[in-house]
Amino acid sequence: MTSGDPPVDRPVECERLAETLRGLRTGTGLSLAALAAKTPYSKSSWDRYLNGRIVPPRQAVAELCELAGEEPGRALALWELADAVASGRGAGGGGGGVRPRAGGFASAPAESLPPEDAGSSPRHPARRGLLAGVVGGGLTVVAVIVALAVTGAFGWSTPSASSSQSLSPSAPVLVKGCHGSGCTGKDPETYGCGADPVPVTLGRQSFPGPTVVKIRHSTACGAVWARIDLGKVGDRAEILVPHHAPWRIEVKDQYDAKDSLSTPMVAATRSDLDHVRACLVRDGKRHCFGPVE
C-alpha cells in the first residue's frame, strides 16, 4: 500500500493472491520497473497488484509465473477465487467486474462485450474466509477449491497418489475450455486461451503515447483476438477475421486505460492467420495492421 492510501479491509482471498504474487516477483529478481519493461503492465499497475489493492488480469498472473519459472496452476487457482470475490460472483452476484468505491477493492477491468451464453474450524480463519467468499459461486468455484486443496493452498494434506491421478496441481483452472468456433465471442482470459500455453503475438503496432495493440493467437484454442495495452479513454480495439463479424472492446474509463483489455475471440484456421487484422479506432480514425511478415 502506498502512502496516503486509506486502510482497506481486503478479502482474505485477495490477500492470499497478493502474497503469492509477491513471492513470485521475488523469484524473478526483477524490480517493478523491470517487470513493467517485460510485460504490458505499468510499474504502477504492478505496485497495485503486488500490494493487493486490485486483482490483476489473469494474463498478468500467468506472465509473472512464466518470468519466475513457476507452473501457473496454483497462482491461477488463487486468482479465480480472488476474482470471484472482488467481482461479486463469489457472493452470488453477477459475473462482471466492479469498480472500486472510495477506499474499496476491485477486480481488474473485465471484458463487457458480449454477455455469455461453509463453516470451518476457528483455528483456520483464512480457510473459513476462503470458503465463505465463494459460497454461491457454483461448480466452477468448487473446482477451484479442489485444485487449491491439491496444491496445498489450504494446508490440507495432499491426496494419495492413487486418489490424485486425475487432478493435476500444475494445470490452470479454467471456467471451461473451448476450441475453434466454440471460442468465438468468448473472453480469452476466462477460457484459458490467454494463459497456458502462452499465446503467440502475430503482429503488434505502437501508437502515440504508451498504447500498443497486438494480434494474439492461441494454437490450443484455435482462435485469435486483439489486445490493447494502456489505451486512451474512448479507444476501441477490433479483431477482423475473414468470413466473421468483427469483435471489439472499448477503453471506457481511467481504470481500463491503465491495464490491458482483450476483444472476444474469433475462430481462425491456419489459412486464416495470414489475413487476420487488428484495428485501433481512435478519435474517429481507424488504424489497421496485419501479422508481421
- Render pLDDT for 232-289 as a digit per residue (tens, 0 to 9): 999 999 999 998 999 999 999 988 888 889 999 999 999 999 999 999 999 999 999 9
Output the domain CATH number for residue 283: 2.60.40
Same domain, yes or no, for 67 and 123?
Answer: yes
- Domain assignment present for residue 203? The answer is yes
- Domain assignment present for residue 243? The answer is yes
Question: Which of 23-27, 100-104, 132-136, 221-225 has the highest average model confidence (pLDDT)?
Answer: 221-225
CA distance 17 to 144: 13
Quick check: 115 pLDDT over 60?
A: no
CA distance 58 to 260: 10
Same domain, yes or no, for 18 and 118?
Answer: yes
- Domain assignment present for residue 238? The answer is yes
- Domain assignment present for residue 175? The answer is no
Same domain, yes or no, for 205 and 126?
Answer: no
Quick check: 117 pLDDT over 50?
A: no
- Domain assignment present for residue 125? The answer is yes
pLDDT, tens only, 11-54: 888 889 999 999 898 888 888 888 888 888 888 889 889 988 88
What are the grid coordinates assigned to 242, written together?
475473414
Q: Which of 81, 116, 151 is the last residue of a domain?
A: 151
- Domain assignment present for residue 81? The answer is yes
CA distance 124 to 181: 45
Q: What is the mean pLDDT of residues 76-89?
A: 86
Confidence at residue 91, expressed as pLDDT on a 0 to 100 scale: 52
Cell 467486474 identifies what position? 97
Same domain, yes or no, for 43 and 145?
Answer: yes
- With a pLDDT cut of 70, the percent of the chain lying above it is 66
Same domain, yes or no, for 33 and 109?
Answer: yes
Confidence at residue 5, expressed as pLDDT on a 0 to 100 scale: 45
Contacts of 166 (CB under 8 A, 6+ apart): none
Tally the domains of the chain. 2
Same domain, yes or no, for 28 and 86?
Answer: yes
Same domain, yes or no, for 47 and 132?
Answer: yes
What are the grid coordinates assigned to 15, written together?
490477500
Indicate the pTM of the whole model.
0.45
Q: What is the mean pLDDT of residues 106-121?
A: 41
Same domain, yes or no, for 205 and 145?
Answer: no
- Domain assignment present for residue 146? The answer is yes
What single string gives the DSSP state of each residue in the chain? --TTPPP----HHHHHHHHHHHHHHHHHT--HHHHHHHSSS-HHHHHHHHTTSEEPPHHHHHHHHHHHT--SHHHHHHHHHHHHHHHTGGGT--SS-----TT--EEPP---SS-------TT-HHHHHHHHHTTTS-HHHHHHHHHHHHHTTT-PPPPPTTTSTT--TTSPP-S----GGGTTTS-TTTTTTTTSSPPEEEEEEE-SSS-EEEEEEETTTTEEEEEEESPPTT-EEEEE-TTS--EEEE--SHHHHTSEEEPPPEE--GGGGGG-EEEEEETTEEEEE----
Q: Taking Cα atoms as reference points, which of 61, 17, 26 lies closest to residue 41?
A: 61
Same domain, yes or no, for 90 and 214?
Answer: no
pLDDT, tens only, 272-286: 999 999 999 999 999
CA distance 40 to 74: 22
Domain that holds residue 223: 199-289
Contacts of 78 (CB under 8 A, 6+ apart): 13, 16, 17, 20, 148, 153
Same domain, yes or no, for 277 and 221?
Answer: yes
Amino acid at 212: V
Angle at 62 between CA 59 and CA 66, to 5 degrees: 135
Q: Which of 132, 151, 170 is the last residue of a domain?
A: 151
CA distance 47 to 178: 33
Poorest-pLDDT segment among 6-15, 190-199, 254-263: 6-15
- Domain assignment present for residue 183? The answer is no
Question: Which of 82-91, 96-105, 147-156 has the highest average model confidence (pLDDT)?
Answer: 82-91
Same domain, yes or no, for 43 and 146?
Answer: yes
Cell 474512448 identifies what position? 234
Same domain, yes or no, for 146 and 204?
Answer: no
Q: Phi and psi at residue 36, in whole multiples of 5°? A: -60, -35
Q: Which of 90, 120, 151 is the last residue of a domain?
A: 151
